[in-house]
Chain A
Amino acid sequence: MDLQQLLTMIFSGLTGAAFLALITMAIVLIFKTSYTTNFAQSSIATFSAYTVTAFFSKYFQVNFPNSSPVTLLIISILIGIIVGFAFGVAIDVFIIRKSKYSNAITKQMITMGMILVISGLLPITFGIFPMATPKPLSAVVYQIPVGGNIPLYLPSHNLISIIIAIIVLSIMFVAMKYTKWGLGVRATASNEVVASMMGVNTKFITAMSWGIAGGLGALAAALYAPTVYTLSPDIMISLQVNGFLAAVLGGFSSFGGPIVAAIIIPLARVFAWKFVSNTWANAIVYILVLIIILIKPVGLFGKKIAKKV
């Protein structure tokens, strides 16, 4: 194996990591503020991806044929993010908050019910036929010479996805560290009751977290969908599964740990795909994660949280 092959593999692993890190961030954000796992994350994201595609190919391209497709796509993605945001806020405000009897498991069940609702809504809203996803930048491929004869090919869509993911996640981390909202999130995460007693508007913080998680999922889906060419209701499920595994692997107790795990998992998957088996890459990664959390139940970077009664 030469350098060029290795770099290509790392690049494709990092592309997967870009999508996965966004989804993982969303999952951890909701876990931290609401203390539940949002299984509807992928469904909301898929709904937003459908929205993006529907707006782009059925509305914008028909009505503004002369504009540049990139601008139109960016506008569509923004609309998709808004839809995802609204969905997230709505779930928190109208369902989770209004729930009479709620604990971690009932909240989980509510999000599972949400999966069913959205998977039923998708064909009714967007039709039953598969939609091709817009990919206006796929023609551009950067070539980087790296020794040897064959240059390194970097598809521009993947490169842009990585850059966007890095920017968005950096903004998230900076916001978490320096803004009032970030402080509120961290306070709510450490103890919701005490945070609300100290004057943190935990309801607003939680609703915003659900909204931002929905937006992050929408962004991830909008970036991910073009790499699978056609939309179907279950495109995001494998990403969601890996997102949860990353969150478990990194440990739910921090924000950084899951993101690191979200970079490790796609890389491990790519290497397992290359060196062990084409078909069983996912299974190998899953078993590896199981072994690691068998040895270290709190995750690679987690700390044990002592619970008081």
Chain B
Amino acid sequence: MENKKTSQLTLLNRFQSFTKHPFFGIFLAAFVMILIQVLGNSGILKPSAVDILANIWIYMIVGLGFTLLLGYAGLASLGTAGFIGVGSYVIGFVFNQMGMNFFVAFILGVVLAIILGTIVGFISLRIEGMYLAIITLGLSEILVEVFKFWTPVTGGVNGVQIARPEFFGKVLEREEVYFILVFFMVVVMISVVNIIASPTGRAMLSIKNSTSAAQAMGISVLKYRLMTFVISTVIAVIGGMLYMTYNRATTPNMWSIALSLNILAAVVIGGSKSIWGVGLGSLLIFGLDQLVLKRIEFFQVYGNASFILNGALIILVVMFYPGGIIRMFKDLSNFTKKQINGIIRSYKEYRYGKQ
């Protein structure tokens, strides 16, 4: 009897320690994403809704890279959309000119991201953190021009379309690309969680909190800032490549500064220090807009009207509540615990008298 109880306890303990592992939530999220696709196949969810969600996951992947930059290194960048665009055009170019070669495309994209990120990051971060936003703002404008006018590669204003991607001779359906997307999501999430928990992540955080103190501790400010920027650039380019593989079309106008700002909004509003905050923020910013607001007539007429909400939320969160929405859950649970404890105490005082 005694023995059985302890074994049950250990099983429970094991389950608890299993759920507390940082990767548990990630795999749970991946499971939910796969479930969405399964529901879409079985006809419960509309295919268009699945498409919209898939694009939200892509922006969420990009947002994860941005979290490192904004929440941990304390830097703001405006080049995100440009980098996503670079990724999408790399896929378009490689697939149309060199056949469906995933590995060449992936390596080319990552190398391009590292080169671009290093040049821009090195020049601007050498001076000061604030300059990164200025230089990337210029870069994103130039990138849009490149997409528009480098016609032999980027197809000009009409953009690039690709056929259904093939993988080892097998034509990939949209659902299969969706699973690739979920796989990348898991990989990026695990990498970001690991980076945050590693000495690198702590070095980034120390730089954000005080540059001078970090320098005094022997942390190279430029090195870690540059590293973060390059990582987030690589993740943005990967996001762009996934976007192109899934949607199979890209045009220059999509990669304007508004998208960068919306990704910034998703990260800031959700909570710039947590990977779950980014998920919530992306669902709120892109999901609310695409799934709900697009059906209201007012927002149909005035296309950008939902931006007001995003912008106002950025300002409010930055002003009063830097933790973002994810922080709100924690605060709310703390608040309810306090209230419940207070009620229990007053009940006990009433029942048993003051001690």
Binding site for B on A (CB under 8 A): 36-37, 39, 95, 98-101, 104-106, 108-110, 112-124, 128, 233-234, 237-238, 240-241, 244-245, 247-248, 279-280, 282-283, 286, 289-290, 293-294, 297-298, 307, 309
Contact = CB atoms under 8 A, between A and B. Distances in A.
B319 A100 contact: yes
Nearest to A125: B302
Contact of A112 (B78, B138, B302, B313): B78
B94 to A, nearest CB: 23
B308 A116 contact: yes
A113 B315 contact: yes
A108 B130 contact: yes
B76 A128 contact: no
Nearest to B264: A112
B129 interface: yes
B294 to A, nearest CB: 15
Nearest to B130: A104
Nearest to B272: A109
A282 B149 CA distance: 12
Interface stretch (B42-50, B140-148, B164-172, B341-349): B140-148
Contacts of A118: 311
B261 A116 contact: yes
A105 B76 contact: yes
| Dominant secondary structure of chain A at its interface with chain B | helix
B141 A108 contact: no
B213 to A, nearest CB: 8
Interface string B71-99: 00011101000000000000000000000
Contacts of B120: 290
A240 B137 CA distance: 10
B302 A128 contact: yes
B305 A282 contact: no
Contacts of A297: 126-127
Given A104-B130, A109-B314, A123-B303, A99 B308 contact: no
Contacts of B258: 116, 119
B307 A120 contact: yes
Interface string B113-136: 000000110010011011101110
Given A99-B319, A283-B146, A241 B141 contact: yes
Contacts of A128: 301-303
B304 interface: yes
| Dominant secondary structure of chain B at its interface with chain A | helix
Interface in B4-53: none
A104 B308 CA distance: 23
Chain B, interface size category, equals 35 or more
A248 B141 contact: no
A37 B133 contact: yes
Given A99-B318, A112-B261, A297-B127, A121 B142 contact: no
Nearest to B129: A105
Given A116-B307, A119-B304, A234-B256, 5 more contacts: A37-B134, A109-B264, A112-B314, A116-B310, A297-B127
Nearest to B260: A112
B149 A248 contact: no
Interface string B50-70: 000000000000000000000
B133 A117 contact: no
B322 interface: yes
B127 A298 contact: yes
Contact of B130 (A37, A282, A307): A37
Given A244-B138, A248-B131, A115 B311 contact: yes
B312 A117 contact: yes
Contacts of B339: none
Contacts of A241: 137-138, 141
Interface in B282-316: 301-315
Contact of A108 (B76, B123, B309): B76
Contacts of A115: 257, 261, 311
A117 B301 contact: no
A240 B133 CA distance: 13
B182 interface: no
B212 interface: yes
A121 B129 contact: no
A282 B143 CA distance: 11
Given A282-B145, A297-B126, A106 B318 contact: yes
A249 to B, nearest CB: 11
A2 to B, nearest CB: 30
A10 B301 CA distance: 44
Given A39-B137, A112-B264, A117 B311 contact: yes
Given A116-B311, A241-B138, A123 B304 contact: yes
A240 B78 CA distance: 13
Given A37-B130, A105-B76, A108-B130, A120 B318 contact: no
